[in-house]
Amino acid sequence: MRMRLLLTGIFGLALLTTAMGQAWTTAYDAGLKAAKSGDWSSARKEFQKARANRPDDVSGPTNLPGPVTEARKWRGGAPYSPNFLSAYASFKLGQTAKGDASSTFFKTAQDEFEGLLKKNQVSKESLYFLAAIYSRANQTDKLQDLAKRSQKANWKVDGELLAPEEVTAMVQSMTPTGNNQGVVAVVDASNMSGVTPTMPIKAGPVPVNPKKYALIIANGDNKLAGFQVSHAANDAKLLRDAITSNAGYDTANVEVVLNASAAQIKAAASALAAKMPTESTLLFFFTGAGANIDNRDWLAGTDTQLATDTSAMIAKTEIYRPFVEKGISIFAFYQVSRSAIGGRFFGSEEPKAGRVSQMQSTTPGETIYSIFKDGSNVGIFASAMSDVFSELHSNAIPITEFGWQVFYKIRRGQTGSSGGGSRQTPTLPVLQLLASDSRF
C-alpha cells in the first residue's frame, strides 16, 4: 500500500513538473512568434506568462528531461530570457506609440532593464537599450554611470528577436575606439559572441557620394551676453575639412554660413534644398546660441538681442522644412549651450515630420567647452566629430555608431579607451523614421 502511494506521488510530481515545463515553453514560444509578426503587445504578455511559471532568466542552456546518455538542450542551448524580452517588447512598443503612451512604455522598459542590472545580469543588450532610453529622456547621470558599466557585461540573453541593425550598432558601441589605422569592424548580425572580424579600408581619399550635402552654420558673434562662441568659425572650417577629406562630401556640396541673421539662415537652407536631389542626405551642423520657447527650438541670429525674442530667431523646424518636403534625410548636430530659459532647454523639441536624426553636444543644463587643436581653439564637440570622421574614413557612416564614438571621445577627453570624466556629456542621436544604422 505504501509503495503504491509512493509511486503515485512520484508519478503525480512528474506530471506536475512536465505540465509546468510545457507551460513556460509554450508561452515563451508564443511570445517569439508574436514578436516576429510585429505584435509586441501580445509578445510581452506571453513572455510574462513564461516568467510566471519559470521566474528567473538563465544565461546558459536549459537541459531538457531525458536519459543522461541522450542529453538534450532547449532551443539548441539558447539562454532563457523572459524578463529581458518582456522589457525589450516594451521598448519596441515605445518606439511606435505616441505622446504619453510612448513615455509610459519606455519608462516600463527602463524599470525592467534596470531590474536586471540590479540582479547583476549585466548584458550588453540591456546596457544598449538603457542607454537609448536615458539619452532620449536626457537622464545625464544615469547615462554616465552606464558608460562605466559597459566593460562589465557578464550575461548572455536570447537575442533572436533583435533587429540586425540593433545588433550591429550594439557590438560597435561596446567596442573601445581609437586610431584604427584604416580598419573598421564588420559585424556578423547572427553572432553576438567571439571576435569581431575586420576588413581593411584602402588608404587615400574617400570616394565622393554626390547625394550627400552639408549645411554648416557658425553663429559665434551673436548679441546675447554670455552666449558668444569665439571658436565657431574654427569649428566650421574643421568640420568642412573633415567631411570633405574623410566622409565623401563634395566640396561643392558643402555650404558654410558664418555669423548670419535668422533671415540669412533661412535663405541659405532654402537655396541648398532647392539644388539637392530628392531622397538625398543632409548633414546639418549649428554652433551658436539656441533656446526652447513655447516648446519649440529656436536658433539665434547675429541680430538676436534677447534670449526670448523669437522675432530675431529662426525655428529649427523652419530650417528642416524645405529638406523634409523633398524627402531628404537630415542628420543634425548642435553645439549649443543648453542653459534653462523659463525652465525649458534647447533640444527638447522633436520634429513631427521627416526623417531626422538629432544629436546635442551637451545634456540639459550643460555648457559647451573648447580645446586647442593644431594651434586653433575649437569646440570639444566639433573636435570629437572631426576625429571620428577621420577614424571611420567612409562615405557611408552609420549614425548610431558615429554617435557612440563621439560620446566616448568627449567623455574620455579624447584620450584612452575606458572610463572618462569630461565636464561635457553629449547625447546620443535621437532618431525619427530612421534606422539606427542609417548612413550619412
Q: Which tens digit of pLDDT belongs to each residue from 341-351? A: 777 889 888 88
Query: Cell numbers of 170, please?
Result: 550594439
The per-residue pLDDT for 197 is 29
- Are 156 and 25 part of one and the same domain? yes
The per-residue pLDDT for 334 is 98
- Are 133 and 222 part of one and the same domain? no
Say if 174 falls within a structural domain.
Answer: no
163 confidence band (pLDDT: 50, 70, 90)? confident
- Are 297 and 411 part of one and the same domain? yes
- Are 215 and 76 part of one and the same domain? no
| pLDDT tens digits, one per residue of 17-74 | 444 457 899 999 999 999 988 889 999 999 999 999 999 999 999 988 777 666 688 8
Residue 80: is its pLDDT beyond 70? yes
Residue 98: is its pLDDT beyond 60? yes
- Are 225 and 148 part of one and the same domain? no
- Are 125 and 246 part of one and the same domain? no
- Mean pLDDT in the chain? 82
Instruction: Using the 3D structure, point to which of 140, 162, 184 is the last residue of a domain.
Output: 162
How many domains, the chain? 2
The per-residue pLDDT for 290 is 87
173 confidence band (pLDDT: 50, 70, 90)? low
Say if 78 falls within a structural domain.
Answer: yes
13 confidence band (pLDDT: 50, 70, 90)? very low
Mean pLDDT of 161-167: 76
| pLDDT tens digits, one per residue of 382-439 | 999 999 999 888 899 999 999 999 998 888 765 544 444 467 889 999 999 998 889 9
CATH code, 38:
1.25.40.10
- Are 354 and 256 part of one and the same domain? yes
Per residue, what are the HEC states of the chain?
A: CHHHHHHHHHHHHHHHHHHHHHHHHHHHHHHHHHHHCCCHHHHHHHHHHHHHHCCCCECCCCEECCCHHHCEEHHHHCCECHHHHHHHHHHHHHHHCCHHHHHHHHHHHHHHHHHHHHCCCCCHHHHHHHHHHHHHCCCHHHHHHHHHHHHHCCCCCCCCCCCHHHHHHHHHHCCCCCCCCCEEECCCCCCCCCCCCEEECCCCCCCCCCCEEEEEEECCCCCCCCCCCCCHHHHHHHHHHHHHHHCCCCHHHEEEEECCCHHHHHHHHHHHHHHCCCCCEEEEEEEECEEEECCEEEEECCCCCCCCCHHHEEEHHHHHHHHHCCCCEEEEEEEECCCCECCECCCCCCCCCCCEEEEECCCCCCCCCEEEECCEEEEHHHHHHHHHHHHHCCCCCEHHHHHHHHHHHHHCCCCCCCCCCCCCCCCCCEEECCCCCCEC
Say if 178 falls within a structural domain.
Answer: no
What pTM was computed for the model?
0.61
Say if 232 falls within a structural domain.
Answer: yes
Say if 314 falls within a structural domain.
Answer: yes
The per-residue pLDDT for 151 is 61
Range of the domain at 354: 204-432
